Homo-oligomer: A and B are copies of this chain.
Amino acid sequence: MLAEIITIGDEILIGQIVDTNSAYISKELNKIGVKVYQITSVQDEREHILQAFKDAKEHADLIIITGGLGPTKDDITKQTFCDFFNDTLVEDQSVIENVKHLFEKYQLNKPLPANFRQAMVPSKATILMNKYGTAPGMWMEKDEIVFVSLPGVPYEMKHLLQEEVLPRVIKRFNRPHIYHKTLLTYGLGESAIAERIADWENALPEEVKLAYLPSLGKVRLRLSSTGNDERVLKESIDSRMEILNEMLSDIAIGYEDETSIIGRIAHILTQKNQTLSLAESCTGGAIAENITAEPGASSFFLGSIVPYKTELKTKILGVPSSIIEEFSVVSIEVAESMALNCNKLFATDYAIATTGIAGPTKGDGIDEVGTVCIAIATPDGVVSEKFNFGNDRYRVIKKTTNKVFEMLLKEISKN
């Protein structure tokens, strides 16, 4: 069976926001065997929305629509729904109660008339109660095709999808199984990987698809297949992936969803009962942010220092100013001193240090924009490397972060 996703909102078409809802919905539908045929973003305009509904109905059995359900005047999805289904808006008492309940729970002022307008819904719609916001979701059918309308606020959309939509989809439709598995690799480009695995790739059967997903120092390799027997499907993909993992054992770090590179690092450090600290200069908190975004980071991550100004490398981290003067602030010597001192200060087993020039200007440094030194202090000493990551600030920070995790994983896997 096929689904389509329609996201409504001028803010998407003028590039004011990035549509993250579609990716989330697609991923969740895939997990239950629903293939997404197309994603379409349209304007807050009656005729355009109606046309999108009509087009989607040609291909899909299930159409999920997000956005346009706010209490303000620019939101017209509900009225357009009525036009499409030949329906009228009626007041729903359960939504009124929900609005009152939410305002009490979050100790807000009295609901305004606009808030109660959320209770006006198409009479034929099945209401999907929104526990986290005032706009309800709606489930409607026309000619055996299911239309689901959800609010555009990602948090509310996600809860409604999980709690109300997916269980109903599972009950309503027969679905095959879709199975993806993705291998994460660091440190080799996609063409070089393709050349290395050419024989294996050429021997893949028709129904198994391989995709290459390169980005800033890592390449993800995805195998996908669809079928009716979940066990056969899983065995076919898993066994092929095992061979691939073996062939790429020097660059592969594990499977996506089962692990991330931070997940692998967390697993190893926690098992060994070892700890990590950071001294981030040019990455300015990005490494810490990546680590602490994972729940449970506190079992191995003790903390971080961002000595953004050069003098703080001396004052807080204790890097001798003579080293900075002799070798410059972006140097292997300074990075190593930062890492070693950081390890002492936090009393950790491993400490990572970054110093570099993310750009666009040279800041405190004298080196080229994009120059980055990374050092890792370990229980046995310190390793370090100097790179040039180009002249785009965002990419320099991202590439440094990816390289740091690649180097750290290598170090902690050694003993």
Chain A interfacial positions (CB closer than 8 Å to B): 10-20, 22-28, 30, 35-44, 48, 52, 55, 70-74, 108-109, 111-115, 153, 155, 178, 180, 182, 189-192, 194-195, 201, 209-215, 220, 222, 224, 278, 280, 284-289, 291-293, 295-298, 301-309, 312, 316, 345-346, 359-361, 363-364, 392-395, 397
Contact = CB atoms under 8 A, between A and B. Distances in A.
Q: Which 7 A-B pairs have the closest CB atoms?
A: A284-B292, A15-B27, A285-B288, A15-B26, A285-B285, A304-B306, A39-B41
A29 to B, nearest CB: 8
10 contacts: A10-B211, A10-B224, A11-B213, A38-B42, A70-B212, A73-B194, A74-B209, A298-B364, A303-B306, A304-B308
Contacts of A308: 292, 297-298, 301-304
A392 B298 CA distance: 17
A14 B34 CA distance: 10
A178 B215 CA distance: 34
B303 A312 contact: yes
A304 B303 contact: no
Contacts of A115: 191
A71 B72 CA distance: 47
A249 B42 CA distance: 33
Contact of A192 (B112, B178, B220): B112
A158 to B, nearest CB: 9
Given A16-B27, A38-B42, A297-B308, 18 more contacts: A12-B22, A12-B39, A13-B35, A14-B178, A15-B23, A18-B20, A38-B40, A71-B191, A71-B194, A72-B212, A74-B210, A114-B191, A295-B359, A295-B393, A303-B306, A304-B304, A305-B306, A312-B346
Contact of A305 (B30, B41, B201, B304): B304
B19 A19 contact: yes
B27 A23 contact: no
A359 B292 CA distance: 11
Nearest to A276: B308
B298 A285 contact: no
B213 A16 contact: yes
Contacts of A182: 16
A291 B284 contact: yes
Contacts of A285: 280, 285-289, 291-292, 304, 306
A286 B284 contact: no
Nearest to A306: B304
A286 B220 CA distance: 26
Given A114-B191, A209-B10, A15 B30 contact: yes
Nearest to A313: B303
